[in-house]
Structure 1
Amino acid sequence: FPPGVEYRIPLDTTRFIRTAVSEVLYTLALAVFLVLLVVYFFLGNWRATLIPMATVPVSLIGAMVVLSAAGMSINTVTLFALILAIGLVVDDAIVVIENVERLIAEGNDPHQAAIISMQQVTSPIIATTLVLLAVFVPVAFVPGITGVLYKQFAITIATTMVISCVVALTLSPALCAV
């Protein structure tokens, strides 16, 4: 600035934004922890719990990479969408692990159980993903100010679901076979 010119920042919104992002990140961590507890409570063993939980960071980080590559920012809207997507991400992996565990209980070795399971659950996992995409993708095309507000949310959920589907069809059975 030239000499004699002063400037002031009458309102610094960055503090509020940092606080909001911190709170959303805390909520994200809390959601992952609560999902871990619920999954363990219902599946009853740590191996069956850790496999679906391993898919959460892979899917969420994958979604953030895709969003960043697409030029979208990671903000409170995208973080909130990622929080909501956690349950959907775990759901795909639970379908796989439950079927593999059932087949192991029937006497199959883990490797064979994973192969048989994927023959049985691949179509339902893909169908579930397509249904979720049919719900969220149109939201990205809503016109007007509403569309602007919800576009990143819808794209984040849709991206996370596609990555979750790929992870459920690849990483989950690979971990189950070990």
Structure 2
Amino acid sequence: MQQPLWAPWRMEFIRSEKPTGCIFCEFPAAPPSEDRKNLLVHRGEHAFTCLNKFPYNSGHVMVIPRAHVSDLGALGAAEWTGLQDELRRAVDVVKAVYAPEGLNVGMNLGKVAGAGIADHLHWHVVPRWGGDNNFMPVLADVRVVVEALDEAWRRLSAGFAGR
């Protein structure tokens, strides 16, 4: 007998107005007072880090250049270095805050490669633990994330403080 899986929070996404611009350009342009709402946990000169609103695991962040580019070669030397510095910082913070047994760090370049926002490249940093791939994705095409985004924002923002 099939059991229903309730996910009422998804209705907010379904009914919400979809952005017309690039959220990866809009988020860092907003005042820091909106960082929690926009899930930004750190701002750097050339890049920033934010939580993934639809994470694979708790603590899943994205490291994003401020430059609106889809091609790695379009970043200047300082932008590339700033992006990699932010990536290294994000990995260090995720490791310190979540103590994962491993990490997936990667980039999906282009829509067919899986990029949800193909016009603005970004790194994904996903903490992993042994056995974290449970039966839900296999049986129901559903992921179970054990921590609310607000709590993840609080923990990761504190982790970035002073780094």
Query: TM-score scaled by structure 2?
Result: 0.26
Greater helix share, structure number? 1
Does 1 or 2 have the higher relative contact order (CA < 8 Å, sep 6+)? 1
Higher gyration radius (CA): 1
Query: TM-score scaled by structure 1?
Result: 0.25
Greater strand share, structure number? 2
